[in-house]
Amino acid sequence: MARTIGISGLGIMGSAMGVNLVRAGFRVLGYDPLAAARRSLARAGGAAVRSNGELARRCEVVITSLPSAAALASVAQELAKTARRGLPVVETSTLPIEAKEGARRVLARAGATLLDCPLSGTGAQARTKDLAVYASGPRAAVRRCVPVFEGFARANYYVGAFGAGSKMKFVANLLVAIHNVAAAEAMVLAMKAGLDPAQVYKVVGDGAGGSRMFQVRGPMMVAGDYSDATMKVEVWQKDMAIIGDFAREVSCPTPLFQASAPFYTAALAAGRGKQDTAAVCAVLEEMAGLKRMPARRKAAR
């Protein structure tokens, strides 16, 4: 009989995990405050439930994918009311460690085990199972969840005690922030020099100058279209703040990370909050006085 997995939070990442777990043969139950998100899971072969408490009662493992510390605190309280002793709760969001510690304590009092398991990858990567799980917490509980990780991710790593997963994610996202802006800067330089952005993406991406962010977000920069967001600028601002706070907490200088931050802020100020973070390319294009012709945009697609 298929294991029953619950997902709390059916946004970009949570919905993609749900679809892939269904495809992997799991029975998937999900809850989200938005009815449209619940209906989407049902269309994908999962089943929507009426509350987080129902997930805790009916599922062998619960995954949380949430937008804020406040949301995690609320969901933890709901899960704790009905959680069975030993229930693993896999927390995949990017949030401050102290927020996760608070949720861990709430669930521990109910006998459930919160695992800190952030994900490395964009929403587009999540849809194709191209994610890495940074799992931290009690090793035995993590081991129980490995088959679940394999249902929605290409790789999973046990990185240590609770909180180590978040620390690893902060390091990964620091690189994402820098590499994304670096990719945009290179694209704008290429276009100012008269090179074809589609050819730049193909040629440079195949050489030493390529990066995962160049590979993932380059096509959006080539097309000049950032509407199909895999990470919205407005959400990314939350991640940037968390990384900055963490770096200051451990007294670590992050000059390149700090240099990348104004471009995301500028994208937000330009009304691009709902767009993908690759929209920093548009910010740099404007700074460079670069005007792309509509026909060229269409051809790039």
Token digits of residue 11? 């946004």
Residues serving a catalytic function are: 169
